[in-house]
């Protein structure tokens, strides 16, 4: 019997619902963006996000069922993001998922948002080849994992301060570009391909492969104070120099891990994975090591419910069923990656 899992994602400012068949085939995935709502504040306002999730979820559930031609009685499970994220936003999604699971008498899967970003590489695609390295680059997370299989991970490095996406947003704000900053900086940098300069790299004194992006943000701030970018060409140059630095920080750590671990794939997930320059440099790296690069299409890189439904279906197939007393966790422990109680 085919599995049909309905997934709910509400960890930050995107309300998303999806129906996924057999853990990988996306039948419907709809997302209500709050970008315009929060852009006037220069960032996400948690209380506003929670209220918007509450308003959008009922409509989205009906919409994806209609698109996928699936009835409530056809569903075999419910999956929801329960960590990490904004606690109020998470609670809206978790409460809705528990209500559906209880009323429909269906098993519930609680999904870790970051693990779901990695699983997105398997949506509408062939299975990922293991062992693999997993790289998550998003607004709140920059992490590198060794993966023996889904559910079997070793954390190799994480950010000690700003995440990559957060750095893009903060630098864009320093440059007066607006929110969200990633696409705006990427567009400017693309117009200056001749720029190869970088700011000073961040390297850990303890020789770890942890990431750090606060230094490059500070370097941009000092550069703007010293030489304010007065025209578009100067902005393009600064954007390219910043982006080059971020890409080098990521590639340096990925290359080091690929030199240590014999893997078959490099799996990328998270909103920053939409950045085409990042995809390009990672493709060159994986080609040199003779391994697969698995990056989801852009629609599955940003926050979405298809990745939640897919991973939830896998968890349910492994007998990992969450209790209806499950709740949301804003900051779960990173000592055991992705393991939720």
pLDDT digits (tens, 9 = 90+) for 221-234: 999 999 888 899 99
Q: What is the mean pLDDT of residues 77-88?
A: 94
Peptide bond into 220 cis (omega under 30): no
Mean of pLDDT over the chain? 91
Q: Residue 337 pLDDT more than 80?
A: no
| Token pair recorded at residue 191 | 């117009």
Q: What is the mean pLDDT of residues 80-108?
A: 96
Where b means 16+ CB within 10 Å and e means fewer, 168-189 reads bbbbbebbebebbbbebbbebb
Residue 34 pLDDT grade (very low, low, confident, very high; cuts 50, 70, 90): low
Cα gap 235→189, rounded to integer Å: 9
CB 204 within 8 A of CB 212: yes
Q: What is the 3-state secondary structure (H, E, C) of 138-174?
A: CCCCEEEEEEEECCEEEEEEEECCCCHHHHHHHHHHH
Q: Are 41 and 275 in contact (CB under 8 A)?
A: no
Q: Is 285 helix (H, G, I), strand (E, B) or coil?
A: helix
Mean pLDDT of 199-205: 83
Band of pLDDT at residue 140, cut at 50, 70 and 90: confident
In tens, the pLDDT along 276-328 reads: 999 999 999 999 999 999 999 999 999 999 999 999 999 999 999 999 999 99
Q: Say how many Å lie between the first and final Cα of the chain, rounded.
A: 29
Task: Name the residue among 210, 77, 198 with its Cα closest to residue 142.
Answer: 210
92 close to 55: Cβ distance less than 8 angstroms? no
Rounded to the nearest 5 percent, the helix, strand and coil shares of the chain are: 45, 20, 35
The pLDDT score that the predictor gives to residue 44 is 66
The Cα 314–Cα 145 span in angstroms is 19
Query: Greatest CA separation found in the chain?
Result: 65
Give the 3-state secondary structure of residue 126: coil
Q: How many CB atoms lie within 10 A of CB 238?
A: 25
More confident residue, 64 or 230: 64
* % of the chain with per-residue pLDDT over 70: 93
Q: What is the DSSP string of 171-196?
A: HHHHTT--SSHHHHHHHHHHT-TT--
Distance in angstroms (rounded) separating the CA atoms of residues 94 and 297? 26
Q: With 60 as the cut, is the pLDDT of residue 60 above it? A: yes
Query: How long is the chain?
Result: 341
What the chain holds in terms of domains, given with CATH numbers, is 4-120+300-317 (3.30.420.40), 129-295 (3.30.420.40)
The pTM assigned to this predicted structure is: 0.91
Query: What pLDDT does residue 178 have?
Result: 82
């Amino acid at each position: 019997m085919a599995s049909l899992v309905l997934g709910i994602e509400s960890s930050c400012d995107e309300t998303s619902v999806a129906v996924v068949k057999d853990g990988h085939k996306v039948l419907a995935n709809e997302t209500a963006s709050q970008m315009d709502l929060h852009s006037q504040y220069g960032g996400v306002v948690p209380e506003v996000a929670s209220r918007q999730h509450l308003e959008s979820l009922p409509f989205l559930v009906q919409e994806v069922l209609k698109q996928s031609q699936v009835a409530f009685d056809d569903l075999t499970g419910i999956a929801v993001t329960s960590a990490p994220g904004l606690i109020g936003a998470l609670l809206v999604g978790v409460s809705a998922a528990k209500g559906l699971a209880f009323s429909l008498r269906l098993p519930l899967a609680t999904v870790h948002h970051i693990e779901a970003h990695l699983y997105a590489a398997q949506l509408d695609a062939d299975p990922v080849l293991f062992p693999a390295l997993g790289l998550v680059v998003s607004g709140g997370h920059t992490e590198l994992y060794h993966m023996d299989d889904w559910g079997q991970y070793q954390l190799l490095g994480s950010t000690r301060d700003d995440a990559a996406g957060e750095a893009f947003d903060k630098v864009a704000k320093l440059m007066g570009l607006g929110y969200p900053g990633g696409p705006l900086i990427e567009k400017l940098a693309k117009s200056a391909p001749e720029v190869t300069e970088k700011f000073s790299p961040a390297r850990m004194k303890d020789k770890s492969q942890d990431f750090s992006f606060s230094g490059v943000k500070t370097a941009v701030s000092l550069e703007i104070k010293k030489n304010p970018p007065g025209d578009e060409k100067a902005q393009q140059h600064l954007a390219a120099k910043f982006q080059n630095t971020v890409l080098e920080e990521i590639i340096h750590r990925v290359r080091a891990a690929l030199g240590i671990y014999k893997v078959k794939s490099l799996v990328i997930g998270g909103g920053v994975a939409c950045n085409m320059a990042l995809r390009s440099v990672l493709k060159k790296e994986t080609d040199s090591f003779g391994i697969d690069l698995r990056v989801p299409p852009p629609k599955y890189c940003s926050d979405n419910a298809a990745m939640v439904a897919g991973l939830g279906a896998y968890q349910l197939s492994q007998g990992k069923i969450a209790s209806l007393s499950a709740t949301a966790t804003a900051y779960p422990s990173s000592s055991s990656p992705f393991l939720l109680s």
